[in-house]
Chain A
Amino acid sequence: MTKIEAVIQPSELNEVKSALQAVGISGMVVIDVRGHGRQKGHTEFYRGREYDVDLLPKIKLELVVKDEQVEEVEQAILQAARTGEIGDGKIFRSRIDEIIRVRNNERGAEAI
């Protein structure tokens, strides 16, 4: 089982969701986050003083998939989330040891 975390542009969320549905993924967690990688941010004015806003609004998706789905899911996200600009985000992949469904104690891939 693999966890895929994707930080994407907020404007691409709907596209990514549709792309994931198209490859059969229905469950995910979506979080409003702020952050930046290489992107510089922008400047705002407050009472005549210019200041940098470098923590930019992003969306973070978290989903856990079966290992054989990983490649397909990652491709779906990459294609849907890409605008070609700096700040399009990143995908992080990690191993998951266990999943337990709260409702009925199902474990492992069954619980995805």
Chain B
Amino acid sequence: MKRILAGIVIALLAIAITPACWAETAPLSDGTIDTVTTSNMARLEAKIAEAKTSADNAKSSADNAWVLTSAALVLMMTGPGLALFYGGLVRKKNVISMLMQSFALMAVVSILWAVFGYSLAFAHGNSFIGGFQYLFLHGVGSAPDADYSATIPAATFMLFQMMFAVITPALITGAFAERMKFSSMLVFTVLWMIIVYCPMTHMIWGKGGLLNFAQGGVIPTLDFAGGTVVEILSGLSSLVAAIYVGRRLGYPKEAFVPHSMVISFTGACLLWVGWFGFNAGSALGAGSLATSAFMATHFASAAAVVGWSLCEWIINGKPTLLGAISGAVAGMVAITPASGFVGPMPAMVIGFLAGVLCHYMVNKVKAKLGYDDSLDVFGVHGVGGTLGMVLTGVFASRAVNSAGLSGLIEGEWKQVVRQLESIGISWVLAIIGTLVALVVVDKTMGLRVSEQDEIDGLDQASHDEEAYAYETQTR
């Protein structure tokens, strides 16, 4: 009897000193070791699962924080970044017009994006355009969309992409600056979003898109942050728009020099900072890929400033501030498709080449061809974007991004061919789509302001405002 009692006491003590979770479930009636171990394991697994969930939540929060921050940075690129960059480059009488176009697109494109844009770009559809599942943001909420990113809410992805949709048509306003009707610009943008932007975005990034390498696209194309979608589309559409709308009065006899390089400089610096959101944010997470893209972006921009400025120094004898900031933009344009796939040294090469090539396009080729792309959207974004897309196929490395594809330097020369095919598709879509949109607006409401309005300036003609008012004081 005493032995039995002692045994029970020992058993109770043993249970008492084990961890609480174990004690709760360890059945007193059945004290065999096997059962205890099995239930212990189950408990442990539950604990591990709990820890994993908690770690996933932490990662998800970190990713979400970075992508939301990036979305805000990309919005800052349009306003005030691009708006100031463009605003300083035009004449005093057209400053408000540039600021207003960018700002209006921040509002209007955001609404279009929520109503139909996101759906046409990112919902399930065919190879060329998305479907209608996400119309009015139906079903776009806090649950992640694993096709795009498993760790951030689908709504965050939608917001981030929205800022890209905002800046792309805003870039085009530089091509027809100082002569386009404000109302026509708005209608053109609505059509352009439907015909050009949404299809291209779907093809390159959307579920089942023709060029989407991550989701079994027919032509697997590397475009990390929008070399086709943002840069080539805006650049080529700008070329078509500049030619179709026609030259400004007095071009090219008069030199329409920037009215304030100070303002343009401020805008360009904001673009540089914002571009970290644009490219590093396109990692859609806060991990090391974001760092890699951030690094590539910065070094490409730096090398392009040097490239463009050197050209000016050698050819004209002096480097200009306008050249330096144009070079920065050209470098970031070219690195955009490559930023998540290349290391810092190839990024410098890409940036430097972009600085040199874009300088040549803007300073030599444009003058020869005679079109009036007022603020050189084609020369910088069209040409830089195309160069960047090609060089992405050259320098892409799976050592940098294991989820990517190999480029020429890793022996995959076919990737260059695929990049060229995608460039061709985006050029054709931009040219034809823009032409259609322009013809429709031209035939219905006209594109250009009257000659007198152009002479008076769009600030007064379109908005009845002055950027630099003549101040009269009253006591």
Interface contact B367-A46, CB-CB below 8 Å: no
A48 touches B320 (CB 8 A): no
Q: A47-B362, A48-B362 are in contact. List 8 more A-B contacts (CB 8 A).
A: A45-B316, A46-B257, A46-B258, A48-B363, A48-B366, A49-B252, A49-B255, A51-B255
User: Which 5 A-B residue pairs are closest in the complex by CB-CB distance?
Assistant: A48-B363, A51-B255, A45-B316, A46-B255, A46-B257
Q: Which residues of chain B are near A51, meaning CB under 8 Å?
A: 255, 257
Whether the Cβ atoms of A47 and B316 lie closer than 8 Å is: no
Q: In the assembly, what is the distance between CA of A47 and CA of B372, in Å?
A: 12
Q: How far is the CA of A45 from the CA of B366 in the complex (A)?
A: 15
In the complex formed, the residue of A with least CB distance to B359 is A48
User: Are A44 and B257 neighbours in the complex by a CB distance under 8 Å?
Assistant: yes
- The residue on A at minimum CB distance from B366 is A47
Residues of A with C-beta under 8 A to B257: 44, 46, 51
**Contact partners of A48 in chain B: CB under 8 A:** 362-364, 366-367
B interface residue numbers (CB < 8 A to A): 252, 255, 257-258, 312, 316, 318, 320, 322, 362-364, 366-367, 376
Q: How far is the CA of A47 from the CA of B364 in the complex (A)?
A: 8
Can you give 6 A-B contacts (C-beta < 8 A)?
A45-B316, A45-B318, A48-B362, A49-B252, A49-B367, A51-B255
Across the interface, which residues of A come within 8 angstroms of B376, CB to CB?
47
| Chain B residues with CB below 8 A from A44, complex form | 257
Q: How far is the CA of A46 from the CA of B257 in the complex (A)?
A: 7
The complex places the Cα of A44 from the Cα of B320 at a distance, in Å, of 10
Residues of A whose CB lies within 8 Å of any CB of B are: 44-49, 51
Residue among B252, B258, B320, B364 making CB contact with A45, cutoff 8 Å = B320
- Complex-state Cα separation, A47 to B257, whole angstroms: 9
In the docked arrangement, what's the CA distance between A75 and B362, Å?
Answer: 52
Give the CA-CA distance A67 to B232 in the complex, in Å.
Answer: 71
Residues of B within 8 A of A49 (CB): 252, 255, 367
Which of B257, B258, B318, B362 gathers most chain A CB within 10 Å? Answer: B257
Query: How far apart are the CA atoms of A49 and B367 in the complex, in Å?
Result: 8
**Minimum distance in angstroms from B257 CB to a CB of chain A:** 5
State A49–B376 Cα separation when bound (angstroms). 14
A33, chain B: closest CB distance, angstroms: 17
Q: How far is the CB of A55 from chain B (nearest CB, A)?
A: 13
- Report how far A13 CA is from B320 CA in the complex, Å: 29
List the A side residues contacting B364 at CB < 8 Å: 48
Contacts of A45 in B (CB 8 A): 312, 316, 318, 320
**Beta-carbon nearest neighbor of B364 in chain A:** A48
Chain B residue at minimum C-beta to C-beta distance from A45: B316
Contacts of B312 in A (CB 8 A): 45
Cβ of A56 to closest chain B Cβ, rounded Å: 15
* Minimum distance in angstroms from B335 CB to a CB of chain A: 23
Q: How far is the CB of B85 from chain A (nearest CB, A)?
A: 15
Q: Which residues of B are found within 8 Å of A46, using beta-carbon distances?
A: 255, 257-258, 322
CA distance A47 to B322 in the complex (A): 9
Distance in angstroms from A47 CB to nearest chain B CB is 6
Report chain B residues within 8 Å CB of A47: 322, 362-363, 366-367, 376
A45 to B322, CA, bound (A): 10
Residues of A within 8 A of B258 (CB): 46
Among A44, A47, A48, A49, the one with the most B-chain Cβ atoms within 10 Å of its Cβ is A47
User: Considering residues A44, A45, A48, A49, which has the most beta carbons from chain B within 10 angstroms of its beta carbon?
Assistant: A48
Q: Give complex CA distance A105, B88 in Å.
A: 47
B166 to chain A minimum Cβ distance, whole angstroms, is 27
The CA of A31 and the CA of B62, in the complex, are separated in Å by 59
Q: What residues of A have a CB within 8 angstroms of the CB of B362 in the complex?
A: 47-48
- How far is B316's CA from A44's CA once the two chains are assembled, in angstroms? 9
- Shortest CB–CB separation between residue A102 and chain B, in angstroms? 15
Within 8 Å CB of B318, what residues of A? 45
> What is the bound-complex CA distance between A102 and B258, given in angstroms?
42
| Residues on the A chain within 8 Å of B316, using CB | 45
Q: How far is the CA of A46 from the CA of B255 in the complex (A)?
A: 7
> What chain A residues lie within 8 Å of B363 (beta carbons)?
47-48
B320 neighbours in A (Cβ, 8 Å): 45
For A43, give the chain B residue with the smallest CB separation. B316
CB contacts (< 8 Å) of B367 on chain A: these are: 47-49
Q: How far is the CB of B154 from chain A (nearest CB, A)?
A: 44
Give bound CA distance, A45 to B257, whole Å.
Answer: 9
State the Cβ distance, A87 to closest chain B Cβ, in Å: 21
Chain B, Cβ-Cβ closest to A52: B255
**A51 to nearest B CB, angstroms?**
4
Taken together as a complex, chains A and B put the C-alpha atoms of A47 and B376 apart, in Å, by 9
Bound: A17/B81 CA distance, A: 43
